[in-house]
């Protein structure tokens, strides 16, 4: 049987080594589904593994002799993709290909961290199953299991999360992914917490775009809009007014998707003649990342572009609601963070600008002081 000690496996971290950074994890009961529901979900997945016959091909570790690996990744959330795929950095010395949903493939270029980047939506996948020694699945969930069984039936596989229920916000997904990869490789990584960071490489072909837009070396980016109401900051106009009042020559770059267009127009109308470049809903993800890469600092609320900034090593001032900054950042990040217990809009613009000034003077917060 490929599962041992099944009891409570859905709430158990998928690695064995003990780390001090996990002491603050899993403190919010409202983030966890009822134990009974998770039990039945896990039973259903366990039965699916056996029905498909995949239990015979499941490995608890990546074989040392596995040199050609396919990472089968299925999520449409960019931030989660960056955090979960970041430990590809530990797979040096092996050839790794990525087969993923469309959004995740926007993060990586072929020949970078991944030799090939392939989309699951392609009608004719350029997939040579025989060249792979091992497959990495996100988890033992229905979608990745069925995709693996359909496309790579005979190939051994490991799971990045096993049966662990990772869909919750009260732990650090990046660090968890790195610790699990360390476990899968059966290695002990020196200073794993200090090494963990996000990466992407699809922005590099567009490194000339910031110059085309006229970005200065000290341009400051502001991410407007978002997906969830409690994380959409409505006071960026006031923040811009305070910033320009203090630094009249400051160049600002407005970033985000179509849900930030209205607020962007308001900012442009309120401050005519100021150095404001509007990039809202104008570029794809790779080009937006290239612009963020050029910025000296990015202001944002917790969301996808926060993780893009971390992946291109651009410092951030970020507004959090409910979630803790330490669950989004790693020790590698340069940042200042503000947190509200409920909604980012309870954070006053004056406090945001104060954090910007501290960041521009190079005074960063430490990762440890942002743990709950």
What is the percentage of the chain residues whose pLDDT exceeds 70? 99
Residue 150, pLDDT above cutoff 60 = yes
Residue 306: the pLDDT is 97
Question: Which is the CATH superfamily of the domain at 204-364?
Answer: Glycogen Phosphorylase B; (3.40.50.2000)
Residue 73, pLDDT above cutoff 70 = yes
Label residue 126 by pLDDT band (50, 70, 90): confident
- Sheet strands (E) in the chain: 68-73, 95-100, 117-119, 134-137, 157-159, 220-223, 252-255, 276-278, 297-301, 316-321, 335-340
**Cα 179–183–188 angle (5° rounding)?**
80
Residue 124: the pLDDT is 84
Listed by start position, the domains of the chain span 9-195, 204-364
Residue 28: the pLDDT is 86
Residue 299: the pLDDT is 98
Q: What would the mean pLDDT of 210-230 be, rounded to a whole number?
A: 93
Which CATH fold topology does 9-195 show? Answer: Rossmann fold (3.40.50)
In sequence order, which ranges of 86-151 are alpha helices (DSSP H)?
102-105, 142-151
Label residue 157 by pLDDT band (50, 70, 90): very high
What dihedral do alpha carbons 286, 97, 76, 153 form, nearest 10°? Answer: 160
This prediction's pTM:
0.95
Residue 204, pLDDT above cutoff 60 = yes
Residue 1, pLDDT above cutoff 60 = no
Q: What is the pLDDT of residues 327-364, one digit of tens each?
A: 999 999 999 999 999 999 999 999 999 999 999 999 99
Residue 278, pLDDT above cutoff 60 = yes
Residue 369: the pLDDT is 84
Label residue 264 by pLDDT band (50, 70, 90): very high
- DSSP string for 188-224: --TTHHHH------TTGGGTTHHHHHT--TT-EEEE-
Averaged pLDDT of the chain: 94
Residue 98, pLDDT above cutoff 90 = yes
Residue 160, pLDDT above cutoff 60 = yes
Label residue 321 by pLDDT band (50, 70, 90): very high
Q: How far apart are CA 291 and CA 215, in angstroms?
A: 8
């Amino acid at each position: 049987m490929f599962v041992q000690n099944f009891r409570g496996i859905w709430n158990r971290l998928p690695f064995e080594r003990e780390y001090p950074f996990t002491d603050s994890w899993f403190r919010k009961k409202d983030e966890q589904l009822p134990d009974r529901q998770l039990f039945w979900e896990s039973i259903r997945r366990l039965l699916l593994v056996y029905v498909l016959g995949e239990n015979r091909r499941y490995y608890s570790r990546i074989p040392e002799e596995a040199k050609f690996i396919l990472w089968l990744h299925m999520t449409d959330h960019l931030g989660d993709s960056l955090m979960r795929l970041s430990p590809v950095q530990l797979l040096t010395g092996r050839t790794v290909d990525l087969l993923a949903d469309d959004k995740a493939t926007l993060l990586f270029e072929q020949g970078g961290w991944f030799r090939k980047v392939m989309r699951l939506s392609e009608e004719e996948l350029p997939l040579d199953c025989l060249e792979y020694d091992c497959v990495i699945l996100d988890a033992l969930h229905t979608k990745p299991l069925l995709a693996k069984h359909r496309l790579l039936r005979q190939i051994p596989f490991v799971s990045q999360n096993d049966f662990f229920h990772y869909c919750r916000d009260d732990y650090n997904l990046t660090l968890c992914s790195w610790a699990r990869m360390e476990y899968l490789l059966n290695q002990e990584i020196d200073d794993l917490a200090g090494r963990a960071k996000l990466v992407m490489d699809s922005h590099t072909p567009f490194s000339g775009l910031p110059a085309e837009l006229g970005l200065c070396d000290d341009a400051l980016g502001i991410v407007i809009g978002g997906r969830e109401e409690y994380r959409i900051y409505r006071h960026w106009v006031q923040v811009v007014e305070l910033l320009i009042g203090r630094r009249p020559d400051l160049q600002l770059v407005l970033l985000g998707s179509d849900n930030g267009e209205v607020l962007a127009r308001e900012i442009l109308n309120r401050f005519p003649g100021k150095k404001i470049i509007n990039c809202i809903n104008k570029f794809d993800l790779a080009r937006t990342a290239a612009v963020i890469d050029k910025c000296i600092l990015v202001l944002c609320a917790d969301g996808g572009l926060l993780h893009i900034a971390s992946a291109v090593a651009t410092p951030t001032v970020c507004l959090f609601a409910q979630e803790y900054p330490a669950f989004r950042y790693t020790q590698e990040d340069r940042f200042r963070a503000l947190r509200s217990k409920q909604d980012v809009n309870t954070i006053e613009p004056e406090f945001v600008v104060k954090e910007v000034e501290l960041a521009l003077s190079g005074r960063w917060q430490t990762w440890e002081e942002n743990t709950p």
